[in-house]
Structure 1
Amino acid sequence: MRKLLAASLCLLVTVTATGCGATVESSGKAGASGRAGTSAVTLTNCGRDVTYDEVPQRVVTNDVGITELMFALGLEDRMAGFAMPDDRGDVTDLPWKASYDKVRWLSEGQLTKENVLDARADFVFAGWNYGFGEDTGLTPDTLETLGIPSYLLTESCRNGRTDTSRGIMPPLDALYTDLGNLGKLFGVEKRADALISEFKRQVADVRAKAPQGADRPTVFLYDSGETQPFTSGRYAGPDQIISEAGGVNITHDVEDSWTTVGWESVVQRDPEVIVVCDYGDVSAEQKKEFLLSHAPLRDVSAVKHRRIFTLDYADLVESPRNPSAVAALGAYLRDVAGRR
């Protein structure tokens, strides 16, 4: 993906490399991943206890964030492939270029049952609106009928408020939950614990320097959309990335993850900063030009002062790049607060 803060990437690479090749303790017969090959593991996933009878050997993932969670844990040798749209930028950039080179890119479109079967997958790691959806016919239930277990990205867990609303915990807690669960499933608990500890330290370092109280800038996350903006409620990654960086997400009260709102509410809440999510056929620069020229926004503080900051898609969905995004946005918000 596009460039992030070099220092944060170096920290991430260091932690990941420390885990790679490490010997992980296990009981019983040692499986290829470090955990006992035939011992069952029960994990809590989206509020349900799910038992996995064996260590997955041919994992298929959907999208960049989910795929890089596997890479961050050094599990590329357990992967049979990934599906990822071709609008996600340069996925061969640091810190996982070597991992991408090793794993088969199954599809540049939507993950399908055919992709899964073609890869001879024994496990699918995806999420609601991250590969799974009733409209596509690919769901955990349909995979179960094929004898293929799955794991749902915690950011995407449905919360029951509506049929499709998502999110059951703060976004970074979702990241730590998935790293911990994957660590247990694949027998790489020490690697997972090291990543979680380092990520928490990085975030705490930013939080300690972040603006406080009334000095915290208000922030709107703009993903896409002209008639209605697609943005982040309280359960998508940007909400906590913004708050840990020292800002206030103006759509924090929306009890969903990625969702649409009305321009009227954006204007009424008058954000001081707009964060643009960079991906897709419309470039970040084109999105910025739209925001600056969109008549209803002309009196919004962020537009009047041209305070528009860009983060990559992989920074903002649940992924091991979230702590680096907190650091990058934190530096920007400190500058904004200091210039008032």
Structure 2
Amino acid sequence: MSRSPRSLRAPALILVTALALSGCGADVDSSAGGKESASANRHYPVTLDNCGERRTFDKAPERVVTNDVGITEIMFALGLEDRMAGYVMPDDKGSVDEVPWKGAYDRTTWLSKKRINKELVLDARADLVFAGWNYGFNEGEGFTPEKLKELGVDSYLLTESCRNGRSKMRGVMPPLEALYTDLLNLGKLFDVEDRAEALVAKFRKQVADARAGAPQGADRPRVFLYDDGRDKPFTSGAYAGPHDIITKAGGDHVMKDLKDSWTAVGWETVVERDPEIIVINNYGDTSAEEKKRFLLSYAPLAKVSAIRNKRFVVLDYVQLVESPRNPGAIEELVKEFGGAAR
């Protein structure tokens, strides 16, 4: 096929322009194919500390797949939906119709309401999976960062889910610091550090302002987080979101000595520690109201203060796992704890 004179002139003009710019000392990066600025190229490679592992990235990921609602909203809060291939999330984690990131949800592909897996990641042509241990990654199902690496797909681990070196217990830092760490890490990875730093500063102020009105000293209510479970309650230890949310809202988290994130305990421990308020995690096939009815009807709990006084607070799942909604959850609990009967 013959080419028109106009199409023949275009490459020549580009070449002349490039030569002229280089003669003037401009930094022209021919390897980027014109897609990235010289400034952006100077940002990379970047090295991050993720769950104790030093990770180096030569460029920003362009097709990220996230797993679960909190992780997805961390990306949205940083304005990174344009870097996402999509998200995996069950539809039992609460409505997203009125959240600040509704537009980001609308612009991003909901890849699956089932479990994340290697086939889904490969079909999405992902270059990075943002998930966590028990937030998608699971040795039993063969879906791990190591397996993804074998397939040429990178990963970033949610800091709340970091293994702490003792068996499969999770957690290496206070929960809110885990959130701030991930925001700052991702800010660096995607070259939006100013955005990440501003968001962390906003959250720190939001939490500090909420704490100013929180109960103090003897007014602090004893609080238990109930996720689910009949034979044994599933709850939060010191390294999951509810610990900081309860504590910074002025509550005394009765399971603060558990050096784990999300874990099961015995009912006898709950009875012994006699919580005055029970926070119910609202998600899953069992509604918050059904969970409340079970707690009120379970005979071994009959003498627990929260049960006798019917003191319950319901928060959505995404408010309690690591997410940008954690500071708002603290504000909500401050209001609830302020009226706690002692």
Give the structure 2 partner of residue 105 of structure 1. Answer: 110
Matched, 1:94 2:104: no
Question: What's 2:165 paired with?
Answer: 160
Does the C-alpha gap of structure 1 residues 125 and 31 become closer, same or farther in structure 2, counting only changes over 3 Å? farther
Q: In the alignment, what sits opposite 1:137?
A: 142
Which amino acid is 1:140 matched to?
Answer: P
Q: Does 1:245 align with 2:249?
A: yes
Kindly report which structure 2 residues correspond to 1:157-306, keeping only aligned pairs within 5 A, or say none. 157-162=162-167, 164-306=168-310
Q: What amino acid is aligned across from residue 67 of structure 2 in structure 1?
A: N
**C-alpha distance in 2 between matches for 1:223 and 1:232:** 8
- C-alpha distance in 1, partners of 2:267/2:324? 31
- The TM-score with structure 2 as length reference comes to 0.88
Give the aligned residue type for 1:261: V
Per-residue Cα deviation, 1:268-311 (whole angstroms, up to 9, x for no partner) = 00000000000001101111111111111111000111100000
Residues 28-73 of structure 1 show CA distances to partners (whole Å, capped at 9, x for unaligned) of: 87749x8438821100000111111111000000000000000000
Q: Is the 8 A contact 1:86 1:109 kept in 2?
A: no
In 1, distance between residues paired with 2:43 and 2:52?
25
Distance of 1:225 and 1:91 partners within structure 2: 26
Query: For residues 23-172 of structure 1, what are the structure 2 equivalents within 5 Å?
Result: 31=36, 35-36=40-41, 39-162=44-167, 164-172=168-176
Is the 1:203–1:327 contact (alpha carbons within 8 Å) kept by the matching residues of 2? yes
Q: Which runs of 4+ in 1 moved over 4 A?
A: 27-30
Letter paired with 1:41: V
Letter of the 1:157 counterpart: C
**How far, CA to CA, are the matches of 2:85 and 2:95 in structure 1?**
21
> Which of the two has higher C-alpha Rg?
2
The SS at the match of 2:54 is: strand
Q: Are 2:316 and 1:316 aligned?
A: no
Which structure is richer in relative contact order (CA contacts within 8 A, separation 6 or more)?
1
Cα pair 1:315 1:321 within 8 Å, conserved: yes
User: Contact 1:52–1:149 (CA<8 Å) still a contact in 2?
Assistant: no
- Given that 1:38 and 1:55 are in contact with CA atoms closer than 8 Å, whether structure 2 keeps it comes out as no
Q: C-alpha distance in 1, partners of 2:336/2:118?
A: 42
Question: How far apart, CA to CA, are the structure 1 residues paired with 2:224 and 2:334?
Answer: 15
Tell me, in whole angstroms, the C-alpha distance in 1 between the residues paired with 2:57 and 2:142.
23
Give CA-to-partner distance per residue, 1:235-288, whole Å, 9 cap, x none. 000001000000011111011000000000000000000000000011011111
Shift of 1:212: 1.3
Contact 1:171–1:318 (CA under 8 A) maintained in structure 2: yes
CA distance in 1, matches of 2:79, 2:43: 21
CA distance in 1, matches of 2:200, 2:182: 10
Does the CA contact (< 8 Å) of 1:84 and 1:109 recur in 2? Answer: yes
Counterparts of 2:208 and 2:302, CA distance in 1: 36
Report the RMSD for the aligned CA atoms in angstroms: 1.6
Contact 2:43–2:191 at 8 Å: present in 1 too? no
Q: Structure 1 residues 315-324 or 208-217, which shifts more?
A: 208-217
Matched position secondary structure for 1:251: coil
Gaps of 5+ in 2: 1-27
Contact conserved, 1:35 with 1:186, CA < 8 A, in 2? no
For 2:314 and 2:84, the matched residues in 1 are separated by 31
Measure, in 2, the Cα distance between the counterparts of 1:35 and 1:238.
38
2:84–2:108 Cα contact (<8 Å) kept = yes
Q: Does the residue aligned with 1:121 lie in a helix, a strand or coil?
A: coil
CA distance in 1, matches of 2:311, 2:78: 36
CA distance in 2, matches of 1:222, 1:200: 26
Q: Is the partner of 1:192 in helix, strand or coil?
A: helix
- Matched with 1:9 is none
Q: In percent, how many aligned pairs have the same letter?
A: 62
Superposed, which structure 2 residues align to 1:8-19 within 5 Å? none
Number of aligned positions between the proteins: 310
CA change 1:272–1:334 in 2 (3 A) is same
CA distance in 2, matches of 1:152, 1:117: 18
Alpha-carbon offset, residue 93 of structure 1: 2.6
Q: Please state how far the C-alpha of 1:132 moved relative to its aligned partner.
A: 0.3
Tell me, which stretches of 5 or more residues in structure 1 are unaligned? 1-26
